[in-house]
Structure 1
Amino acid sequence: MSLCLSLDDLGQRICIVGPSNSGKSTLAKAIGLKKSVPIIHLDQLYHQPNSQWVPRAPEEFLRLHVAAIARSSWVIEGNYGKCLHPRLQRATGLILLDIPVSTALLRYIARCYSAKPRVGGIGVQKEKVSREMLKRILFDSPKNYLRYLSLFEQAKIPKLLLSSPSDLNNYYHKWQLNK
């Protein structure tokens, strides 16, 4: 793991994982635009478009995921642990975001009250604060993070751990990315 990675060091298939509301979607969009590679938001593959977060059939999601990672280049963001291993096998670079739970919670609440469309969203005009998402942020994400950290440590590809919002902002600046 290097703190001096250039964007080019991560290659043409970059996988971004991390807790809900850590900035994965926004970072993926910025990298995809900078590198001119397809941007894949896993929430958009997993959920039916323009729904209130209604999932697709599992086999449909897996089919869409397989097709997405088969491309020659991409930046893909999202966790979806059941299909993370095949994604990491195709990835040329890995970014793990690790932000405090309090930051994720504040970002989620702000997102729900914002009139701005969510980057990586599914076409819902305005999200509502939900118990399910609060539970995910407060309880599930910290547990899942340990699994993602273990996978990160085992990865043999160029990888970057960004462990604070300031680390993330430093890389936006270093890589000359637009938010």
Structure 2
Amino acid sequence: MRPLQSLGERIVVLRPSNAGKSTLAVALSKKLGFPAIHLDQLHHLPDTDWQQRPEVEFAALHDTAILGETWIMEGNYSRIMPQRFARATGAILVTSNHWLRFARYLKRTLSNRAERAGHLEGAKDSIKWEMIHWILVKTRNSGLKYSRAIQESGLPAVECRTAEELNELYRAWELLQK
């Protein structure tokens, strides 16, 4: 496995929805002392049930965030990925089974814990059919798309394809698991 330091000071973390990107970003942030930036928090308005910001406002927040000298940035948002990859120094992709991601979505939505990594401030979560469709249908095989994007970027990268590989990454890099 590639050493964590080889990914540099601006690391993108990509994963399909509800696969644990935020948790990994927080663990990396604590280990490296870099700020964790959760794109969902930039894309959605606080104190809502995940209401989206206007696209121009979200893109401006994203473009400002990527100017930082150090960061761990988690989230996908393919339409603004080229700018992010242009500033990134490394990438991590973790894929997981869509049924596991669906179970995580239900658990996190029903528990509605404010301390969850990447949680939207003041969010009033509710189960949404659009999100269920997103997880089970739209992003079922999105890991392949993100893997290609990382390969095309030429960034030093780490890919974890199974829960065991992700657990090994946590062990090898001595990351704290929540």
Using the size of structure 2 for normalisation, the TM-score is: 0.93
CA offset digits 1:14-56 (Å, max 9, x no partner) = 0011100111000001101110011100000000111111111
Which amino acid letter does the alignment assign opposite residue 142 of structure 1?
R
Tell me the distance in 2 between the aligned counterparts of 1:138 and 1:124. Answer: 27
Select which of 38, 44, 58 maps to 1:41.
38
**Aligned residues of 1:112 and 1:126 also touching (Cα < 8 A):** no
Which SS does the other structure have where 1:142 is aligned? coil
8 Å CA contact 2:37–2:72 kept in 1: the answer is yes
Q: Equivalent residue for 2:10?
A: 13
Amino acid at match of 1:148: Y
- 8 Å Cα contact 2:50-2:123 kept in structure 1: no
Moved more, 76-85 or 139-148: 139-148
SS in 2 for 1:40: strand
In 2: Cα distance, 1:122 partner to 1:148 partner = 24
Alpha carbons of structure 1 residues 105 and 92: separation in structure 2 relative to 1, 3 Å: same
Give RMSD over aligned pairs. Answer: 1.4
Deviation, 1:126, is 5.3
Q: Is the 8 A contact 1:48 1:55 kept in 2?
A: yes
- The residue type paired with residue 85 of structure 1 is P
User: Per the alignment, in what secondary structure is the counterpart of residue 139 of structure 2?
Assistant: helix
Quick one: which of 149, 152, 175 aligns to 1:151?
149
1:119 to 110, 117, 120: 117
Q: How many residues align?
A: 176
Whether 2:96 is the aligned partner of 1:106: answer no
2:92 and 2:49 map into 1 onto residues whose CA distance is 28
Match for 1:165 among 152, 160, 163?
Answer: 163
Amino acid in the other structure paired with 1:122: L
Cα distance in structure 2, aligned partners of 1:143 and 1:5: 25
Equivalent of 1:29 in 18, 26, 31: 26
Other-structure match for 1:136: 134
Can you give the 5+ residue segments of structure 1 that lack an aligned partner in the other structure? none
- SS state at 1:94 partner: strand
Deviations 1:89-120 (A, max 9, x none): 11111011110111111111111222533310
TM norm structure 1: 0.93
Contiguous gaps of at least 5 residues in structure 2 = none
The sequence identity of aligned pairs, in percent, is 37
